[in-house]
Amino acid sequence: MTGFDSYVAIGDSFTEGLNDEAPDGTFRGWADRLAEILADGRPDFRYANLALRGKLLDEIFDEQLPTALDLRPDLVTVCAGGNDIIVPGADVDDVAARFEEGIAALRAAGIEVLIFTGPDTKQMSVMSILRGKVGIYNAHLWAIADRQGAKVVDLWAMHVLHDVRAFSDDRLHFTAEGHRRIALRAAEVLGVPTADDWREPWPETDEPANWLTLRRSDLEWTRTHLLPWIRRTLRGESMGDGLQPKRPRLAPLTTITRSASGGGPVTTALAERTVPDTAGEPAENGGLSPATG
Protein backbone atom coordinates (compact mmCIF):
# COMPACT_ATOMS: atom_id res chain seq x y z
CA MET A 1 0.00 0.00 0.00
CA THR A 2 1.32 3.45 -0.94
CA GLY A 3 -0.86 5.56 1.35
CA PHE A 4 -2.46 7.38 -1.59
CA ASP A 5 -5.84 6.37 -3.01
CA SER A 6 -6.22 9.23 -5.50
CA TYR A 7 -3.86 11.49 -7.45
CA VAL A 8 -4.33 14.53 -9.71
CA ALA A 9 -1.54 15.98 -11.85
CA ILE A 10 -1.72 19.61 -13.03
CA GLY A 11 0.74 21.57 -15.14
CA ASP A 12 2.14 21.93 -18.64
CA SER A 13 3.86 19.70 -21.21
CA PHE A 14 6.26 18.26 -18.64
CA THR A 15 3.33 16.74 -16.75
CA GLU A 16 1.36 15.91 -19.89
CA GLY A 17 4.28 13.67 -20.82
CA LEU A 18 5.99 15.11 -23.90
CA ASN A 19 8.07 13.43 -25.43
CA ASP A 20 7.55 10.03 -23.82
CA GLU A 21 5.61 8.59 -26.71
CA ALA A 22 3.69 5.34 -26.32
CA PRO A 23 3.33 2.87 -29.20
CA ASP A 24 -0.18 4.19 -29.94
CA GLY A 25 1.17 7.72 -30.51
CA THR A 26 -0.07 9.21 -27.24
CA PHE A 27 2.21 10.57 -24.55
CA ARG A 28 2.85 8.68 -21.33
CA GLY A 29 5.23 10.71 -19.13
CA TRP A 30 6.43 10.63 -15.55
CA ALA A 31 2.98 11.41 -14.07
CA ASP A 32 1.35 8.38 -15.69
CA ARG A 33 4.33 6.28 -14.62
CA LEU A 34 4.07 7.61 -11.06
CA ALA A 35 0.34 6.83 -11.01
CA GLU A 36 1.11 3.24 -11.95
CA ILE A 37 3.60 3.00 -9.08
CA LEU A 38 1.13 4.50 -6.61
CA ALA A 39 -1.70 2.26 -7.80
CA ASP A 40 0.40 -0.86 -7.24
CA GLY A 41 -2.24 -2.97 -8.95
CA ARG A 42 -5.14 -1.67 -6.82
CA PRO A 43 -8.36 -1.37 -8.87
CA ASP A 44 -9.72 1.30 -6.51
CA PHE A 45 -6.83 3.74 -7.06
CA ARG A 46 -7.95 6.79 -9.07
CA TYR A 47 -5.91 9.17 -11.21
CA ALA A 48 -6.50 12.31 -13.30
CA ASN A 49 -4.03 14.28 -15.42
CA LEU A 50 -5.24 17.78 -16.31
CA ALA A 51 -1.93 19.08 -17.70
CA LEU A 52 -1.67 20.63 -21.16
CA ARG A 53 1.37 21.68 -23.16
CA GLY A 54 2.23 25.37 -23.38
CA LYS A 55 0.06 26.49 -20.47
CA LEU A 56 1.13 29.55 -18.47
CA LEU A 57 0.89 29.75 -14.69
CA ASP A 58 -2.34 31.76 -14.62
CA GLU A 59 -3.97 29.38 -17.10
CA ILE A 60 -2.99 26.36 -15.01
CA PHE A 61 -4.30 27.94 -11.82
CA ASP A 62 -7.47 29.28 -13.47
CA GLU A 63 -8.35 26.14 -15.45
CA GLN A 64 -6.79 23.17 -13.65
CA LEU A 65 -6.36 24.12 -10.00
CA PRO A 66 -10.10 24.62 -9.25
CA THR A 67 -10.82 21.16 -10.66
CA ALA A 68 -8.08 19.63 -8.53
CA LEU A 69 -9.52 21.34 -5.44
CA ASP A 70 -13.02 20.11 -6.27
CA LEU A 71 -11.80 16.54 -6.74
CA ARG A 72 -10.00 16.62 -3.36
CA PRO A 73 -7.50 13.84 -4.10
CA ASP A 74 -4.94 12.58 -1.61
CA LEU A 75 -2.09 13.92 -3.78
CA VAL A 76 -1.62 16.72 -6.32
CA THR A 77 1.57 17.28 -8.29
CA VAL A 78 2.11 20.83 -9.52
CA CYS A 79 4.47 22.03 -12.26
CA ALA A 80 3.82 25.59 -13.39
CA GLY A 81 5.58 28.85 -14.12
CA GLY A 82 8.24 27.61 -16.50
CA ASN A 83 6.66 29.07 -19.61
CA ASP A 84 6.30 32.36 -17.75
CA ILE A 85 9.87 32.84 -16.54
CA ILE A 86 11.56 32.23 -19.91
CA VAL A 87 9.77 35.17 -21.50
CA PRO A 88 12.21 38.11 -21.78
CA GLY A 89 11.59 40.64 -19.03
CA ALA A 90 9.55 38.24 -16.89
CA ASP A 91 9.73 38.89 -13.14
CA VAL A 92 10.68 35.56 -11.57
CA ASP A 93 9.83 36.85 -8.09
CA ASP A 94 6.31 37.73 -9.21
CA VAL A 95 5.80 34.34 -10.87
CA ALA A 96 6.95 32.62 -7.68
CA ALA A 97 4.55 34.67 -5.56
CA ARG A 98 1.63 33.62 -7.73
CA PHE A 99 2.82 30.01 -7.64
CA GLU A 100 2.75 30.06 -3.84
CA GLU A 101 -0.87 31.21 -3.82
CA GLY A 102 -1.88 28.04 -5.65
CA ILE A 103 0.18 25.77 -3.41
CA ALA A 104 -1.27 27.43 -0.31
CA ALA A 105 -4.80 26.78 -1.57
CA LEU A 106 -4.09 23.08 -2.05
CA ARG A 107 -2.43 22.72 1.33
CA ALA A 108 -5.28 24.59 3.05
CA ALA A 109 -7.59 21.92 1.62
CA GLY A 110 -5.50 19.22 3.32
CA ILE A 111 -4.05 17.86 0.09
CA GLU A 112 -0.51 16.48 -0.11
CA VAL A 113 1.44 18.50 -2.70
CA LEU A 114 4.52 17.53 -4.69
CA ILE A 115 6.36 20.18 -6.74
CA PHE A 116 9.39 20.01 -9.03
CA THR A 117 12.42 22.22 -9.46
CA GLY A 118 13.80 22.81 -12.93
CA PRO A 119 16.81 20.78 -14.08
CA ASP A 120 20.29 22.23 -14.44
CA THR A 121 20.80 23.37 -18.05
CA LYS A 122 24.55 23.96 -17.76
CA GLN A 123 25.47 21.06 -20.04
CA MET A 124 22.89 21.91 -22.70
CA SER A 125 24.09 23.96 -25.64
CA VAL A 126 22.10 27.21 -26.12
CA MET A 127 19.63 26.26 -23.35
CA SER A 128 22.31 27.06 -20.77
CA ILE A 129 21.33 30.72 -21.12
CA LEU A 130 18.27 29.92 -18.98
CA ARG A 131 20.34 28.57 -16.09
CA GLY A 132 20.25 31.75 -14.00
CA LYS A 133 16.47 32.14 -14.18
CA VAL A 134 15.92 28.46 -13.46
CA GLY A 135 18.21 28.66 -10.44
CA ILE A 136 16.40 31.69 -8.99
CA TYR A 137 13.00 30.10 -9.54
CA ASN A 138 14.21 26.89 -7.92
CA ALA A 139 15.31 28.80 -4.81
CA HIS A 140 11.81 30.25 -4.58
CA LEU A 141 10.25 26.79 -4.98
CA TRP A 142 12.28 25.38 -2.10
CA ALA A 143 11.24 28.30 0.11
CA ILE A 144 7.58 27.88 -0.89
CA ALA A 145 7.73 24.17 -0.11
CA ASP A 146 9.20 24.93 3.30
CA ARG A 147 6.55 27.52 4.15
CA GLN A 148 3.60 25.53 2.82
CA GLY A 149 4.63 22.02 3.83
CA ALA A 150 4.95 20.67 0.27
CA LYS A 151 7.38 18.02 -0.94
CA VAL A 152 9.98 18.68 -3.64
CA VAL A 153 11.46 16.58 -6.42
CA ASP A 154 14.79 18.30 -7.07
CA LEU A 155 15.44 17.78 -10.78
CA TRP A 156 18.44 20.13 -10.53
CA ALA A 157 20.14 17.66 -8.17
CA MET A 158 19.37 14.59 -10.31
CA HIS A 159 22.80 14.01 -11.83
CA VAL A 160 21.39 11.43 -14.26
CA LEU A 161 19.53 14.25 -16.02
CA HIS A 162 22.85 15.89 -16.91
CA ASP A 163 23.22 13.28 -19.65
CA VAL A 164 21.97 14.50 -23.02
CA ARG A 165 20.12 11.21 -23.46
CA ALA A 166 17.66 12.35 -20.80
CA PHE A 167 16.37 15.01 -23.22
CA SER A 168 14.67 14.65 -26.58
CA ASP A 169 15.88 16.43 -29.71
CA ASP A 170 14.02 19.64 -28.84
CA ARG A 171 16.27 20.04 -25.73
CA LEU A 172 13.18 20.90 -23.74
CA HIS A 173 11.22 17.73 -23.14
CA PHE A 174 12.50 14.53 -21.59
CA THR A 175 12.90 11.20 -23.31
CA ALA A 176 11.05 8.11 -22.14
CA GLU A 177 14.06 7.16 -20.03
CA GLY A 178 14.20 10.63 -18.53
CA HIS A 179 10.52 10.43 -17.60
CA ARG A 180 11.01 6.96 -16.12
CA ARG A 181 13.79 8.15 -13.82
CA ILE A 182 11.81 11.22 -12.74
CA ALA A 183 8.84 9.02 -11.81
CA LEU A 184 11.12 6.82 -9.72
CA ARG A 185 12.57 9.86 -7.96
CA ALA A 186 9.07 11.23 -7.29
CA ALA A 187 8.03 7.92 -5.75
CA GLU A 188 11.12 8.00 -3.55
CA VAL A 189 10.30 11.51 -2.30
CA LEU A 190 6.80 10.30 -1.45
CA GLY A 191 8.25 7.37 0.49
CA VAL A 192 6.99 4.74 -1.96
CA PRO A 193 9.45 1.88 -2.56
CA THR A 194 10.26 0.83 -6.13
CA ALA A 195 12.14 -2.08 -7.66
CA ASP A 196 14.30 0.19 -9.85
CA ASP A 197 16.74 2.95 -8.89
CA TRP A 198 16.73 6.30 -10.70
CA ARG A 199 20.46 6.66 -9.91
CA GLU A 200 21.46 3.77 -12.15
CA PRO A 201 24.31 4.97 -14.43
CA TRP A 202 23.65 5.43 -18.12
CA PRO A 203 25.25 2.87 -20.46
CA GLU A 204 28.64 3.80 -21.84
CA THR A 205 28.49 5.82 -25.04
CA ASP A 206 30.81 6.87 -27.85
CA GLU A 207 32.97 10.00 -27.70
CA PRO A 208 30.97 13.26 -27.68
CA ALA A 209 30.34 15.06 -30.95
CA ASN A 210 32.94 17.54 -32.17
CA TRP A 211 32.49 21.33 -32.24
CA LEU A 212 31.28 21.46 -35.87
CA THR A 213 28.67 18.75 -35.29
CA LEU A 214 27.40 20.54 -32.20
CA ARG A 215 27.07 23.86 -34.04
CA ARG A 216 25.15 22.20 -36.86
CA SER A 217 22.90 20.67 -34.25
CA ASP A 218 22.36 24.13 -32.71
CA LEU A 219 21.30 25.53 -36.08
CA GLU A 220 18.92 22.66 -36.75
CA TRP A 221 17.40 23.00 -33.27
CA THR A 222 16.92 26.74 -33.78
CA ARG A 223 15.16 26.20 -37.11
CA THR A 224 13.00 23.27 -36.00
CA HIS A 225 12.09 24.21 -32.44
CA LEU A 226 13.10 27.72 -31.33
CA LEU A 227 11.85 29.80 -34.27
CA PRO A 228 8.41 28.11 -34.40
CA TRP A 229 8.02 28.72 -30.67
CA ILE A 230 8.93 32.41 -31.10
CA ARG A 231 6.36 32.75 -33.89
CA ARG A 232 3.64 31.13 -31.76
CA THR A 233 4.52 33.33 -28.80
CA LEU A 234 4.32 36.52 -30.89
CA ARG A 235 0.91 35.42 -32.17
CA GLY A 236 -0.29 34.55 -28.68
CA GLU A 237 -0.69 30.91 -29.67
CA SER A 238 0.21 27.66 -27.92
CA MET A 239 0.43 24.00 -28.87
CA GLY A 240 -2.17 23.39 -26.19
CA ASP A 241 -4.82 25.47 -27.95
CA GLY A 242 -7.86 23.35 -28.76
CA LEU A 243 -6.65 20.30 -26.84
CA GLN A 244 -8.27 18.67 -23.84
CA PRO A 245 -6.58 16.94 -20.89
CA LYS A 246 -5.80 13.29 -21.51
CA ARG A 247 -7.35 12.16 -18.19
CA PRO A 248 -9.89 14.84 -17.23
CA ARG A 249 -11.62 12.85 -14.46
CA LEU A 250 -10.51 10.93 -11.40
CA ALA A 251 -10.94 7.35 -12.55
CA PRO A 252 -9.44 3.94 -11.87
CA LEU A 253 -6.45 3.02 -13.96
CA THR A 254 -6.94 0.71 -16.90
CA THR A 255 -3.82 -1.39 -17.16
CA ILE A 256 -2.77 -2.27 -20.68
CA THR A 257 0.19 -4.47 -21.46
CA ARG A 258 1.72 -3.62 -24.80
CA SER A 259 5.01 -4.14 -26.56
CA ALA A 260 7.54 -1.33 -26.51
CA SER A 261 9.78 -0.86 -29.53
CA GLY A 262 13.04 -2.62 -28.99
CA GLY A 263 12.05 -4.05 -25.63
CA GLY A 264 9.73 -6.29 -23.71
CA PRO A 265 6.18 -5.65 -22.61
CA VAL A 266 5.40 -2.36 -20.91
CA THR A 267 2.58 -2.01 -18.42
CA THR A 268 0.92 1.36 -18.71
CA ALA A 269 -2.19 2.99 -17.33
CA LEU A 270 -3.58 5.30 -19.94
CA ALA A 271 -7.33 5.10 -19.93
CA GLU A 272 -9.54 7.98 -21.11
CA ARG A 273 -6.93 9.53 -23.37
CA THR A 274 -8.46 12.41 -25.35
CA VAL A 275 -5.35 14.15 -26.72
CA PRO A 276 -4.80 13.46 -30.42
CA ASP A 277 -1.46 12.29 -31.73
CA THR A 278 0.71 15.37 -32.39
CA ALA A 279 4.07 13.66 -32.52
CA GLY A 280 4.87 15.32 -35.82
CA GLU A 281 4.34 18.89 -34.61
CA PRO A 282 7.16 21.18 -33.46
CA ALA A 283 7.65 20.92 -29.72
CA GLU A 284 6.29 23.55 -27.39
CA ASN A 285 8.63 24.96 -24.78
CA GLY A 286 8.28 22.76 -21.79
CA GLY A 287 10.58 19.92 -20.79
CA LEU A 288 12.44 21.96 -18.23
CA SER A 289 9.38 22.31 -16.11
CA PRO A 290 8.99 24.13 -13.93
CA ALA A 291 11.56 26.13 -15.82
CA THR A 292 9.67 25.63 -19.08
CA GLY A 293 6.52 23.74 -19.89
Residue (of 279, 267, 265, 224) closest to 19 by Cα position:
279
247-290 pLDDT, tens per residue? 999 999 874 333 333 333 344 444 454 433 333 333 444 444 44
Please give the angle made by the CA atoms of 180, 38 and 99, to the nearest 5 degrees: 75
82-136 pLDDT, tens per residue? 888 887 788 999 999 999 999 999 999 999 999 999 988 776 554 567 788 999 9
Q: Average pLDDT in the 190-217 region?
A: 75
21-57 pLDDT, tens per residue? 888 888 999 999 999 999 998 999 999 999 999 899 9
pLDDT of residue 24: 81
Indicate the pTM of the whole model.
0.81
What are the structural domains of the chain? 6-269 (3.40.50.1110)
Percent of the chain with pLDDT over 90: 56
Distance CA 167, CA 13 (A): 14
